[in-house]
Chain A
Amino acid sequence: MVGENKFFDEMSGHNGTVRDAYAAYHDWFAEQDAERLTKKSQDAETFFRRTGITFNVYGQSEAQERLIPFDLVPRILAQREWTKLAKGIEQRVAAINAFLHDIYNRQEILRAGRVPKHLIAGNEAFLPQMLGFSPPGQVYTHIVGTDIVRTGEGDFFVLEDNARTPSGVSYMLENRETMLQMFPELFAKIKVQPVSDYPKNLRRSLAACAPSSAGSKPTIAVLTPGIYNSAYFEHSFLADQMGAELVEGHDLRVVDGHIAMRTTQGYKRIDVIYRRIDDDFLDPLTFNPESMLGVPGIMDVYRAGNITIANAPGAGIADDKAIYSYMPDIVEFYTGEKAILKNVETWRCGEPGALQYVLDNLKDLVVKEVHGSGGYGMLVGPAASKKELATFAEKLKAKPGNYIAQPTLSLSTVPIFTESELAPRHVDLRPFVLVSPQGINIVPGGLTRVALAKGSLVVNSSQGGGTKDTWVLED
């Protein structure tokens, strides 16, 4: 790969010279036979399908199960790159927890005027039911998935802080497992930091957040909406790997002031619930009364201090897109330090001046709805037609406060294997962060998502994205 790269390529930089982190891999790859790799690639797909590593997609008539495409070229980070990144993530996640505790208690940051009150007040992710309460261990975001993008050698940006129930960690683990099986010789040659401790660390981290009433071996359960949920594979995978029970709402009830699960030998108390259902469905007695997925009374038991809910209800206020633009201030307010990791430049359309700028430059910007998630109600300027731009401009003018805008980022690329050769494709990175009173733990690596279509910037699995194994090298 020689020549000018328009985008920063993590294997060959801007000028086509293989970067250090990829040197050993590049040498190995050069010796490989393309046909053998193609065969390996097909084997991987068969393996994923047979083991049921799928996600559900709801079509017109019935649920289908799909694979997330897996690319066999790893995304590689040098130890020193990772150290810096991890430090930045740790700082940011610590600030997010401090922010959540403050927002649900004294609200100093609002009093200080560093974050405008109206962003909290009118926000559906803000749960008044959490006010005046401290969760066990004062941890709100037990698991965080911080979405990172890169644009140059040292330029990492946080795109999103997923503080609710970030998914994808099972793919991180299975991708590594698959690579180990396909290319054992590669791992003998190149020293890669392991990720396989994640389930054990998750268990330990959750246990450390158990209520004080729990014994020395707290009972942990994973709460899933059920087998038809799109992420069910991950729910059962994590429960299995942690040695925790996988429960649904109807397996649980309140017994003697605690949450308990129905077993073949009667009800058994649970101390920590790692829930994979949204706040609104958590407790029909407190939130949405129509919810069939939740556990009636769990919020009462929670406020009484008898159960840990991970992540804490209401934690979503921290990853709201409007709050995002204040993250540098939030980090500084709670840690007293400048944020190590940069935010993507963001215009809050509700602010005077910003709206005009955004309207003038709409075709170059990405505009997002502040209370939405998952890419709905979003405009990607460079990809939009004149008519779409005009329609969106009207929506913006009608409710500017509902939107933020960001520049279209020149996301870095990592090569993927296409039939016979390597081709650069845009990627992002979601490292997984565990928080407990004992500290913050980040698994070295994370989930690399890759936009498989040439030139595409959309890495979402629901829109044609795939995944890669992510390596952090040992020094």
Chain B
Amino acid sequence: MHLTITHTTRYSYETPVHYALQKIRLIPRDTPQQRINDWKVQITGGNREVIYHDQHGNVTELMQIDPGATEVSITASGRVETRDTAGILGKVYGSIPLWLYLQESKLTKPGDGIREIAATLEAAQDKLTGLHDMSARIAEAVKYGSGQTYAETTAEEALKGGKGVCQDHAQIFISAARAAGIPARYVSGYLMMPDRVEQSATHAWAEAHLDTLGWVGFDVSNAQSPDEHYVNVATGRDYLDAAPISGLRQGSGDESMIVSLQVQQ
């Protein structure tokens, strides 16, 4: 499937910026599931300082917002050719050893709730089925909805709250899979909902690693494995590793952010 994507994030600052940096992970790479055809990230109101591959292999840019700016916009756009592999990315590895994806991270430290889910997975005979079952169980336990969780809500907190967004679903899944001894990681990217051009937000899902298949994706929020409607942009141990944009700003004053995302065939 050919997807055309335009993803704009616009920040407005109440007072002119003195010094601020943004770390941007918005450049997808070729994988067995996707091929990137011309992709670019355009910045207005800021300056690209460096570009490099981080430890997860994500193409990462560091941007400095122009001093005195009150607005900055970052637009990632391009065309991606995707392929339905039944959610299987396969045995594709970077510099991170698999055992690192078994480690707890800040947002995926399990508590009692997650351990209980993990116990069921651990008992499952067939891990692939077990993972699908777990995905359904998490979607059941945590209803999709915004407002209850925020960027730094942990997996366990989200599970307790019973309501969350794709980030929470993915992190609960990851946390439980790891607790059950299965390497798992966070994926941030795009999903084309077939009935619309204007997508509401960027998407997130999880990948688990099975010795037999390699990496397999699970989109808890949509009760499916990623297919040709998905574009993988960045991966990490949790949201903090893979966040599309994360920043730091000196000085005071509020900021606001508007995201617009169009994905179409």
Interface residues of B (CB under 8 A from A): 19, 21, 23, 49-55, 57, 60, 62, 64, 94-97, 99-100, 102-103, 237, 246-248
A256–B49 CB distance below 8 A: yes
Q: Quick one: which of A107, A254, A289 contacts B64, CB cutoff 8 A? A: A254
| Inter-chain contacts of A306 with B (CB < 8 A) | 50
| Inter-chain contacts of B52 with A (CB < 8 A) | 300, 303-305
With A133-B55, A284-B248 as known contacts, state yes or no: A300 contacts B49, CB within 8 Å. Answer: yes
With A and B bound together, what is the CA distance between A297 and B52 in angstroms? Answer: 12
B96–A128 CB distance below 8 A: yes
User: Restricting to A94-153, which residues have a CB under 8 Å from any CB of B?
Assistant: 105, 107, 110, 117, 121-122, 128-133
With A and B bound together, what is the CA distance between A151 and B246 in angstroms? Answer: 54
B57–A132 CB distance below 8 A: yes
Chain B: minimal CB distance from A94 (Å): 23
| Inter-chain contacts of A301 with B (CB < 8 A) | 49-50, 62
| Inter-chain contacts of B99 with A (CB < 8 A) | 117, 121
With A107-B97, A131-B55 as known contacts, state yes or no: A300 contacts B64, CB within 8 Å. Answer: no
With A and B bound together, what is the CA distance between A107 and B94 in angstroms? Answer: 13
Q: Does A226 contact B (CB under 8 A)?
A: no
| Inter-chain contacts of B237 with A (CB < 8 A) | 128
| Inter-chain contacts of B246 with A (CB < 8 A) | 285
Interface residues of A (CB under 8 A from B): 105, 107, 110, 117, 121-122, 128-133, 253-254, 256-257, 284-285, 289, 296-297, 300-301, 303-306
With A and B bound together, what is the CA distance between A256 and B248 in angstroms? Answer: 17
Q: Quick one: which of B53, B55, B247 contacts A129, CB cutoff 8 A? A: B55
Interface centre among B55, B94, B102 (most CB of A within 10 A): B55
Q: Quick one: which of B51, B55, B62 contacts A297, CB cutoff 8 A? A: B62
Chain B: minimal CB distance from A292 (Å): 11
8 nearest A-B residue pairs (beta carbon): A132-B95, A304-B50, A300-B62, A131-B55, A304-B52, A303-B52, A257-B49, A257-B50
A285–B49 CB distance below 8 A: no
A131–B49 CB distance below 8 A: no
A-B residue pairs in contact (CB < 8 Å), sample of 25: A105-B95, A110-B97, A117-B99, A121-B102, A122-B103, A128-B55, A128-B100, A128-B237, A129-B55, A131-B96, A132-B53, A132-B94, A133-B55, A133-B95, A256-B49, A257-B49, A284-B248, A296-B21, A297-B62, A300-B62, A301-B49, A303-B50, A304-B50, A304-B62, A306-B50
With A and B bound together, what is the CA distance between A397 and B57 in angstroms? Answer: 41
A300–B60 CB distance below 8 A: yes
B57–A297 CB distance below 8 A: no
B50–A300 CB distance below 8 A: yes
A254–B62 CB distance below 8 A: yes
With A and B bound together, what is the CA distance between A297 and B64 in angstroms? Answer: 10
With A and B bound together, what is the CA distance between A305 and B99 in angstroms? Answer: 27
Q: Quick one: which of A130, A285, A296, A300 contacts B55, CB cutoff 8 A? A: A130
B49–A297 CB distance below 8 A: yes
With A and B bound together, what is the CA distance between A245 and B162 in angstroms? Answer: 54
Please name 20 further chain A to chain B contacts, defined as beta carbons within 8 Å, in addition to the given A122-B103, A304-B51, sorted by A numbering: A105-B95, A107-B97, A121-B102, A128-B96, A128-B237, A131-B55, A131-B96, A131-B100, A132-B57, A132-B94, A133-B95, A254-B21, A257-B50, A285-B246, A285-B247, A289-B248, A300-B50, A303-B53, A303-B54, A303-B60
With A253-B19, A254-B62, A296-B21 as known contacts, state yes or no: A131 contacts B95, CB within 8 Å. Answer: yes
| Inter-chain contacts of B55 with A (CB < 8 A) | 128-133
Chain B: minimal CB distance from A122 (Å): 8
With A and B bound together, what is the CA distance between A296 and B49 in angstroms? Answer: 13
With A and B bound together, what is the CA distance between A122 and B19 in angstroms? Answer: 36
| Inter-chain contacts of A117 with B (CB < 8 A) | 99
With A and B bound together, what is the CA distance between A110 and B97 in angstroms? Answer: 10
Among residues of B, the one whose C-beta sits closest to the C-beta of A104 is: B95
Among residues of B, the one whose C-beta sits closest to the C-beta of A286 is: B23
| Inter-chain contacts of A132 with B (CB < 8 A) | 53, 55, 57, 94-96
| Inter-chain contacts of B19 with A (CB < 8 A) | 253
Chain A: minimal CB distance from B243 (Å): 12
A121–B103 CB distance below 8 A: yes
Among residues of B, the one whose C-beta sits closest to the C-beta of A284 is: B248
| Inter-chain contacts of B248 with A (CB < 8 A) | 284-285, 289, 296-297
Q: Quick one: which of A105, A122, A130, A285 contacts B23, CB cutoff 8 A? A: A285
Chain B: minimal CB distance from A419 (Å): 57
| Inter-chain contacts of A130 with B (CB < 8 A) | 55
Chain A: minimal CB distance from B183 (Å): 12
With A and B bound together, what is the CA distance between A132 and B95 in angstroms? Answer: 5
| Inter-chain contacts of B97 with A (CB < 8 A) | 107, 110
With A and B bound together, what is the CA distance between A304 and B63 in angstroms? Answer: 13
| Inter-chain contacts of B62 with A (CB < 8 A) | 254, 297, 300-301, 304
| Inter-chain contacts of B247 with A (CB < 8 A) | 285
Chain A: minimal CB distance from B74 (Å): 16
| Inter-chain contacts of A121 with B (CB < 8 A) | 99-100, 102-103
Chain A: minimal CB distance from B105 (Å): 9
Chain B: minimal CB distance from A400 (Å): 21
| Inter-chain contacts of B100 with A (CB < 8 A) | 121, 128, 131
| Inter-chain contacts of B60 with A (CB < 8 A) | 300, 303
Interface centre among A105, A117, A289, A296 (most CB of B within 10 A): A296
Chain B: minimal CB distance from A226 (Å): 18
| Inter-chain contacts of B95 with A (CB < 8 A) | 105, 131-133
With A and B bound together, what is the CA distance between A301 and B100 in angstroms? Answer: 24
With A and B bound together, what is the CA distance between A182 and B130 in angstroms? Answer: 77
Chain B: minimal CB distance from A38 (Å): 55
A254–B96 CB distance below 8 A: no
